Each structure stands twice: as C-alpha cells, then as structure tokens.
Structure 1
Amino acid sequence: MPARDIDEYLADLDEPKRSTLETLRRRIHDAIPEAEECISYGLPTFKIDGRAVAGFGAFKNHLSYLPHSGSVLSEIAGELAGYETSKGALRFPIGQPLPTRLVKKLVATRMRELGPR
C-alpha cells in the first residue's frame, strides 16, 4: 500500500497526536529508509521484504510504538525507563515524540531479530 494510506491515518488525528506521530514516522523512515509504508491491522506499519519491522498508533490517552515483536522491548528494557510497556507496545505521551536515538535502537533490535534478508 502506498504511503498515502499513512497520510490519511495521520490526517484523521487531532493535534498534537498528528504532529507527534509525524515526527515518529520520519524517525522510523530515517532508520529504515528502504521500508515499505503500509497500513496493517488498521495501524501504520513499516515492512521490509513483507516483514513488519515497526509501527505506531494513536489511542485516546497515549501513543504507541509497535515493535512487531514480543522480545524487542524486553531486550532493551534498561533503556525504557519512564515509558509504559506491554509485551507488544511502548506507550509514550501525546506531544512527546520518542527520541531519535531510541527509535534507532528499537529498529536495529528488531532488524537483528529478523536476521539477514
């Protein structure tokens, strides 16, 4: 699916959710520029060779980074102080984008997990 679908997802959001997730989108894209952007299970997703590497979503009271893995967040748990996590999501406050360094670490950890392409 084209990036237009993610544009539409973001366009439906109110501020500051929209701008916060637009920043996250750029940071993910900078970390994996070769990724295909699409909507998967109703949420923006970045895929490489058909495999989900990262995604995000907007919810009523928070935003989420989705590593599409049950182990990425536990592997870097020491770097996630101050964030709420579940097995499959890293929640962060509306209006406070994840730092570039953390996004790069999340993506790199997932890419290692996926192995060679």
Structure 2
Amino acid sequence: MPTFYLHENVVHFAPAKNHLGFYPTLSAITAFKERLQNYKTSKGAIQLPYNQPLPVDLIEAIVLFRKKEILSQK
C-alpha cells in the first residue's frame, strides 16, 4: 500500500473495486468530519468513489493537517 511518511505514516492509499481507499488516521477523519459528510468513512479510512471527481483540495488539506499534527509532536 503506497504510503507517505514523515517521521511516521502520514497517509496511505489503495485502489478497491469501486473506490480509492484513503487512510489518513482517525484524527484527520474527526477533524474533517464536516467536509467528509458526502463520503463513506470508517475508523481511519475514507472511500473516494471512482464515479465522482477526486476531491484534490480536501486531500491536500488532510495531508497538510497530518503533516502539522506529526511535526507538532516532535
């Protein structure tokens, strides 16, 4: 599973049959709860359906959130 890493795992992603699985940790899902209302989520995972445009701005915001979160712990 491809992973972005900065002192620890930032996010993972993986293809599934009908969606792209995006795994930014539970903290990011909780922080972006309002913006994720249109997506199926679970503990640590977001399903991005292939039949919808990829939410690049949302993905970028989540990655930057995780980066800030990780760096604040160091």
Q: TM-score, normalised by structure 1?
A: 0.55
**What is the aligned-residue RMSD (CA, Å)?**
1.7
> Which one has a larger percent strand, Structure 1 or Structure 2?
2
CA separation in 1, counterparts of 2:56 and 2:16? 21
Q: Which has the higher contact order (CA 8 A, sep 6+)?
A: 2
CA contact (8 A) 2:5 2:11 kept: yes
Answer with 1 or 2: which has the greater Rg. Answer: 1
Write out aligned runs for 1:33-44 (5 A): 43-44=1-2
In structure 2, runs of 5+ residues without a counterpart are none
CA separation in 1, counterparts of 2:15 and 2:23? 11
Percent identity, please.
Answer: 37
In structure 1, runs of 5+ residues without a counterpart are 1-42
Q: Residue 95 of structure 1: CA displacement?
A: 4.5
What is the one-letter code of the residue matched to 1:88?
A: G
Please name the residue that 2:15 is paired with: 58
Please name the residue that 1:113 is paired with: 69
Per-residue CA shift, 1:31-78, capped at 9, x if unaligned? xxxxxxxxxxxx1111123x11112111123221111x2211011101
